[in-house]
Amino acid sequence: MVGDPPPTLAVLLAHPAGHSLSPAMHGAAFAAAGIAGRYEAWDVAPEALPAALERLRQSPTLLGANVTVPHKETVLRLLDALTPEAERLGAVNTIVRRDDRLLGHNTDAIGLAAALAGLARPPGPGRAVVLGAGGAARAAVAVLLQAGCSVRVHNRTHPRAEALAAAMRHVGTVVAIGAEALREAIAEADWLVNTTSVGMHGGPPGSPVPEGVLPASGAVIDLVYRPRPTPLLAAAAAAGLETQDGVAMLVHQGAASFTAWTGREAPLAAMFGAVERALSAATA
């Protein structure tokens, strides 16, 4: 009927969800592509995830969902099938709904690889350090290994870093390191990638590395994009290092999600513009 609201075409499953820029980004993408629809952020506590997925499964107007903290790994067992990439990484950030079946994708690695390609010195043979051991860390380790890096993984909970390293050793050289080895590993790194929430607006404050600890040269990548710059990136820039925040990865992984849902090429310029406007509005 004329005047009815457009259908909800995609959603974000997160906890918390209020900080996300995905609604602005995907709303702009749908508009630029001429698709009538909207994107909603659903705040889904861990115990409510099965019910949210059932709602997604039973809603014919929904194309699918994005999945982020804390659900990227726990959602695996609740889906009908996984793409080879999602299975290999052991994490899902995109769900595509086909009829009443839910297929899990992972576009994080695609998004990060596209983002890192924009560095003055993209990853290649050399040394990298990844901070964190969640779904984004798995994607980061995979991308860096495939580029030819040797990778050291550090996480506050060391057994999780060990598990991540063990899962990725078939791809390349990756080891888990504890706090005692972190300073030296970072100083020697050509690429330092933070995938934790430390320094994020509303998250743990400060920097994820000890004060004064930075690579001697190279690039520092922080997948946090709010505030701009993060404490880590501010220190890296002051030290003369190349820096990159999480905006490029956010948009590129979102573009791959958009294509998986719609079968259409994503309007990257519209998506970048929406994210930059939302970030500017948040700091105005």
User: Where does 131-267 have alpha helices with state H?
Assistant: 135-146, 158-168, 179-188, 231-238, 247-262
Beta strand 101-105 with 94-98 is: antiparallel
Task: Assign 100 to helix, strand or coil.
Answer: coil
Best CA proximity match to 62, nearest among 22, 102, 120:
102
Catalytic residue numbers read: 72
233 burial (CB, 10 Å; 0-12 / 13-18 / 19+) is buried
Beta strand 94-98 with 64-67 is: antiparallel
Contact 240, 212 (CB under 8 A): no
Task: Assign 155 to helix, strand or coil.
Answer: coil
φ, ψ for residue 62, nearest 5 deg: -95, 130
Q: How far apart are CA 92 and CA 257, in angstroms?
A: 11
The residue written with tokens 């899902």 in the block is 92
Best CA proximity match to 198, nearest among 209, 185, 188:
209
Task: List, in order, residues 6 or more apart from 237 with CB less than 8 Å away.
Answer: 229, 243
How far is the CA of 229 from the CAs of 47, 158, 186, 236, 254, in angstroms? 34, 28, 20, 10, 21
